[in-house]
A and B are shown apart, each in its own frame.
Chain A
Amino acid sequence: MADEATQQAAARAAVERIADRIEREREHLTDLDSAIGDADHGGNMARGWRAAADAVDDLDDADVATIVKTVGKTLLSEVGGASGPLYGGSLVFASAELEDGLTAETAVAFAETYLEKVQDRGDASVGDKTMVDALVPAVHTFKKSVETDDLDPVAALAKAVAAAERGVAFTVPIRAAKGRASYLGWRSVGHQDPGATSTLYIAEELLATAREHADVSGELPADAESPTIPDEAAEGE
């Protein structure tokens, strides 16, 4: 994969992109959360990711693992509710997988460790109407695409984003079994989960960053597209 300097630039760019995206989606995330939660997901995440981007800006010559760890620590202290420990704590924990740099293999290890920590901390499974519904299919798809289907990491990430999107859609019709929404019981049915949604946005921005920085072509499999990702490959045809 790309050299160390490119990796660091990509990591920094990813944090900035995610912070911008979450800020743009602040109202939408808050609307989703006001339906089945306490209406703070947009504000909390926007505040946390902006602080994370600022913290990364202040780092001098940090490797990718340090950048990711800094983001996690900042989210932990700045994001309220369950999102702080789930997003931030898991990033801090999983950042250790990137200490030897970013390759397809370490990216898979990072994704799996992140997922494991989120599930461990939140005690949620697929079908509970949480971020896990987006994360599990995304991570499993990424791993399979890299390890079994031998796709390059950008194409694998594109497939993972598509899987996350299907996961988000899956949260709409089901009843919440974890988190604050679970107190609503059947009234949670019909609402899209805000945590799964912000997880998708983060994955989409990681993909967009990877496309800009990767030294591979990132040619996409036919089913990897989604309406929220600009279809550059198809447009070029």
Chain B
Amino acid sequence: MVGLVVVSHSRKAAEGIAEVAAEMGGDTRIEPAGGDGEGGIGTVPDDIAAALDRADAGDGVVVLVDLGSAVMNAEVAVEMTDANAVIADAPVLEGAVNAAVEATSPRATVDSVREQAEAAREVDKL
């Protein structure tokens, strides 16, 4: 099964988004990563890499990210880990929910999950 990692500058936001996505994600492993490790706002590549390893059940991981340095630190973490991990170019919450749904499909792959996450870019709210 493809796993998910949700990366946000805010630890609370990452946990909250993972919580929302888990409602739709069945048994999917959804790991939050966020914060500067000292209770502040930021992201740390080591923490993201650890979340990638926890989320990986052998079929790879799709990473959802918020802004700026979260993207860069997620890229560094992807380079650090042995897991087959890809970053989705998607809105972090909507993408996480879409990805969680797709991950429950028996035919889900890293690519199909990432594509579903990225499809969330097209969703109109009004």
Q: Do A and B bind each other?
A: yes
Interface residues in chain A, defined as those with a beta carbon under 8 Å from any beta carbon in chain B: 76-77, 80-86, 89, 121-122, 179-180
In the bound complex, do residue A77 and residue B45 qualify as a contact, i.e. CB atoms below 8 Å apart? yes
Beta-carbon nearest neighbor of A38 in chain B: B41
**A–B complex contacts, Cβ < 8 Å, 11 sampled:** A77-B46, A80-B43, A80-B69, A81-B42, A81-B68, A84-B44, A85-B69, A85-B75, A89-B72, A89-B76, A179-B68
- Inter-chain CA distance A83–B76, complex, in Å, is 12
Interface size on B, residues (CB 8 A): 13
Q: A76-B45, A77-B45 are in contact. Are A82 and B69 (CB under 8 A)?
A: yes
Bound CA–CA A82/B9 (angstroms)? 11
The reply to whether the CB of B73 lies closer than 8 angstroms to some CB of chain A is yes
B4 to chain A minimum Cβ distance, whole angstroms, is: 21
For residues 2 through 46 of chain B, which have their beta carbon under 8 Å from a beta carbon of chain A? 36, 40, 42-46
Q: Are A76 and B76 in contact (CB under 8 A)?
A: yes
Q: Which of B42, B43, B75 contacts A121 (CB 8 A)?
A: B75
In the complex with contacts A85-B45, A179-B68, A80-B36 CB distance below 8 A: yes
Q: Which residues of B contact A (CB under 8 A)?
A: 36, 40, 42-46, 68-69, 72-73, 75-76
Chain B residues contacting A179 (CB-CB under 8 Å) are 68
Please pick, from A83, A84, A180, the residue contacting B45 in the complex, using a CB distance under 8 A. A84
Q: Tell me, in angstroms, the Cα distance from A179 to B122 when the chains sit together.
A: 24
Determine the chain B residues whose CB is within 8 A of the CB of A84 once the complex forms: 44-45, 69, 72-73, 76
Q: Please judge, given known A-B contacts A76-B45, A77-B44, A77-B46, whether A82 and B76 are in contact too, CB under 8 Å.
A: no
Q: Which residues of A contact B75 (CB under 8 A)?
A: 85, 121
- Give the complex CA separation of A89 and B78 in angstroms: 12
Distance in angstroms between the alpha carbons of A80 and B40 in the assembled complex? 10
A89 cross-chain contacts in B, Cβ below 8 A: 45, 72, 76
Bound complex: CA A123 to CA B74 (Å): 15
Chain B residues whose CB sits within 8 angstroms of the CB of A81 once the complex forms: 42, 68-69
* List of 3 A-B pairs having minimum Cβ-Cβ separation, nearest first: A82-B69, A85-B72, A80-B42
Please indicate the chain A residues that have their CB under 8 angstroms from the CB of B76 in the complex: 76, 84-85, 89
